Amino acid sequence: MTKFEELGIKNPILTALSEIHFEEPFPIQAAAIPVLLSGQDVIGQAHTGTGKTAAFSLPIIQTIVPKGGIQAIILAPTRELAVQITGEIQRFSRHSGIRYVTIYGGQSINVQFGELERGVEIVVATPGRLIDHIKRGSVRLNNVKYVILDEADTMLDMGFIDDIRFILDLVPKQHITALFSATMPPEILMLAEKYMKSPQRIFIDADDLSGEGIEQAFLVIKDREKTDYLLRFIKENKAGQTIVFCSTKDRTRRVAHELEKASKLTVVSIQGDMSQFRRDKAMYMFKKGKADILVATDVAARGIDVPEVALVINYDVPSHDMVYFHRIGRTARAGAKGRAITLVSYSSIGDFKAISSQTKVAMRDLNKELGIEVKIPDPLKREMPQRRRGYGGRSQNWGRRRDDRRGDGRRRYGNDGGRNYYGLRSRW
Ligand code: AMP
């Protein structure tokens, strides 16, 4: 008997799992599958990469009835994640005769009408477009038995909370809900309290701010020197693909262009200004290994699973520590080894320090290793004011803007005079 069989999974799913070499359940699957099969709600605190897609998809595929109408709604924050979930469902259900559709804004609604009309049992959707379909009557919720909220905290951050409530209010009372979230801010806990029935809580990697399995390094340099080092690190990376994260659409465009010009590698990029078609094409090329480098804004950071990514480079320091961990989590997937390098401009040293204090593994200091001098006094030893922290380890400074181009951070360092990095007078 395979381990998946012991959890209650039956054929034809077992055949599909063995064909795709899922030999042993991951911890989140071992914990969540029996609970969902028994009909109980689940709250899972787990990052992407832990195997949560199979944890919620396998019980759905096993219990829904082919041609029985829409029986499962899976909500995801981004189109990329929704497409990825459907891809996994396709692999698990290849012998099960069930049908599914991905519904997201940016794709022609008529294409989606066609697929819905032919009949599906599982709908994977971003919240806004699903509401469009519900209002137009092309999605009916009266047969729904499963509602999955994937990356609930990201949906919250993206302002989808009212859309989620709208959808949950319309689903028949008798259904199973599973909510997955990397963090549990109060709004998510309130949502769970209102809409879930005595959910079983599963904490898989609540402590996963370690970046374990990922070799992390940083290099402090001037902003204008970043591209040279970026190229150097990419050229040195022989192990697999690279993702480069930038803070803005403009920087993403520029960095992708510069990399393309300066290397013989194939570069694709994803940022919010691109049409859905171009984003899908870029993602497709990267996933299929037809592109060596993906340059992206944080849109791509969440939920994207590309097993071959060997190196993540933060061209810009992320705006938030959680974003950092989501970004570097694109490498070292499913137990593989990976590397992450963060390029820290002088004006971002304070932000980076706040992030590095959250990691539990020692970071490699590339300034020391490569003998690159930091031309400001002792920046990494400078004390930063402690960030306020809320539920789930989030700090409370959402939306604060950083701009590497303003260059004033350096001036402040150079002219310290008892002031800290932000130019505030130190209390000491
Ligand atoms: P997820 O967190 O669902 O995005 O899964 C992360 C990666 O792990 C995906 O590439 C999955 O296909 C893979 N994966 C999930 N469960 C298993 C398993 N039991 N055995 C092998 N690979 C798995």
Backbone angles phi, psi at 276, to 5 degrees: -60, -35
189 plus 46 within the same structural domain: yes
What integer pLDDT is reported at residue 211 of this predicted model? 65
Q: How many domains does the chain have?
A: 3
Domain assignment present for 382: no
Domain assignment present for 74: yes
Question: 26 CB under 6 A from ligand 1?
Answer: yes
Tell which residue, 142, 143, 107, has the closest CA to residue 125: 107
**How would you write the pLDDT of the chain (428 residues) with one tens digit per residue?**
559 999 999 999 999 999 998 988 988 999 999 999 999 999 998 776 778 999 999 999 999 999 999 999 999 999 999 999 999 999 999 999 999 999 999 889 999 999 999 999 999 999 999 999 999 999 999 999 999 999 998 898 888 999 999 999 999 999 999 999 887 888 888 899 899 999 998 877 544 555 667 889 999 999 999 999 999 999 888 778 899 999 888 999 999 999 999 888 899 998 877 887 888 888 889 888 899 999 998 765 555 666 668 889 999 998 777 678 777 876 655 555 688 999 999 989 988 988 888 777 788 999 999 998 887 655 454 444 444 333 333 333 333 333 333 333 333 333 333 333 222 222 22
Question: 48 CB under 6 A from ligand 1?
Answer: yes
CA of 320 to the centre of ligand 1 (A): 26
Question: 333 CB under 6 A from ligand 1?
Answer: yes
Instruction: In whole angstroms, give the CA distance from residue 30 to residue 24.
Output: 9
Question: Looking at ligand 1, which residue's alpha carbon is closest to its atom 18?
Answer: 22
CA of 333 to the centre of ligand 1 (A): 8
- Beta sheet of 309-314, edge-to-edge order: 267-270, 293-296, 241-245, 309-314, 338-344, 214-220, 364-365
CA of 36 to the centre of ligand 1 (A): 18
Looking at 203, 228, 246, which one is the last position of a domain?
203
Which among 22, 58, 331 is the best mutation to test ligand 1's pocket, defined by most ligand atoms within 8 Å of the CB?
22
Give the position, in ligand 1's atom list, of the atom nearest the Cα of 23. Answer: 20
Which among 5, 53, 150 is the best mutation to test ligand 1's pocket, defined by most ligand atoms within 8 Å of the CB?
53
Are the C-beta atoms of residues 350 and 356 closer than 8 Å to each other?
no
Question: 334 CB under 6 A from ligand 1?
Answer: yes
What integer pLDDT is reported at residue 320 of this predicted model? 72
Question: 51 CB under 6 A from ligand 1?
Answer: yes
What's the half-sphere exposure (Cβ side, CA atoms, 13 Å) at 34? 11
Question: Looking at ligand 1, which residue's alpha carbon is closest to its atom 11?
Answer: 51
CA of 22 to the centre of ligand 1 (A): 8
354 plus 409 within the same structural domain: no
Domain assignment present for 70: yes
Q: Which residues contact 324 (CB under 8 A, 6 or more apart)?
A: 314, 317, 318, 342, 355, 358
Question: Looking at ligand 1, which residue's alpha carbon is closest to its atom 14?
Answer: 51
Looking at 159, 175, 203, which one is the last position of a domain?
203
89 plus 194 within the same structural domain: yes
Are the C-beta atoms of residues 210 and 359 closer than 8 Å to each other?
yes
Ordered DSSP codes for 366-417 = HHHHHTPPP-SSSGGGS--PPPPB-GGG-BS-TT----GGG-HHHHHHHT-T
Domain assignment present for 352: yes
Which among 89, 151, 305 is the best mutation to test ligand 1's pocket, defined by most ligand atoms within 8 Å of the CB?
305
316 plus 415 within the same structural domain: no
359 plus 411 within the same structural domain: no
Domain assignment present for 378: no
Question: Looking at ligand 1, which residue's alpha carbon is closest to its atom 19?
Answer: 25
Domain assignment present for 55: yes
56 plus 101 within the same structural domain: yes
37 plus 185 within the same structural domain: yes
325 plus 249 within the same structural domain: yes
Question: Looking at ligand 1, which residue's alpha carbon is closest to its atom 4?
Answer: 49
Give the position, in ligand 1's atom list, of the atom nearest the Cα of 47. Answer: 2
Report which secondary-structure segment, H or E, holds 31.
Answer: helix 27-37
Give the position, in ligand 1's atom list, of the atom nearest the Cα of 25. Answer: 19
Give the position, in ligand 1's atom list, of the atom nearest the Cα of 50. Answer: 2
**Domain span including residue 396:** 388-428
56 plus 136 within the same structural domain: yes
Instruction: In whole angstroms, give the CA distance from residue 86 to residue 88.
Output: 5
Question: 49 CB under 6 A from ligand 1?
Answer: yes
Domain assignment present for 260: yes
Give the position, in ligand 1's atom list, of the atom nearest the Cα of 49. Answer: 2
Question: 339 CB under 6 A from ligand 1?
Answer: no
Question: Looking at ligand 1, which residue's alpha carbon is closest to its atom 6?
Answer: 49
Question: 86 CB under 6 A from ligand 1?
Answer: no
Looking at 339, 370, 401, which one is the last position of a domain?
370
Question: 54 CB under 6 A from ligand 1?
Answer: yes
219 plus 199 within the same structural domain: no
What integer pLDDT is reported at residue 304 of this predicted model? 61
350 plus 422 within the same structural domain: no
Place of tokens 């290099």: 219
Domain assignment present for 383: no
CA of 17 to the centre of ligand 1 (A): 11
178 plus 42 within the same structural domain: yes
Which among 4, 50, 86 is the best mutation to test ligand 1's pocket, defined by most ligand atoms within 8 Å of the CB?
50
Question: 305 CB under 6 A from ligand 1?
Answer: yes
Q: Residue 75: give its domain's CATH number.
A: 3.40.50.300
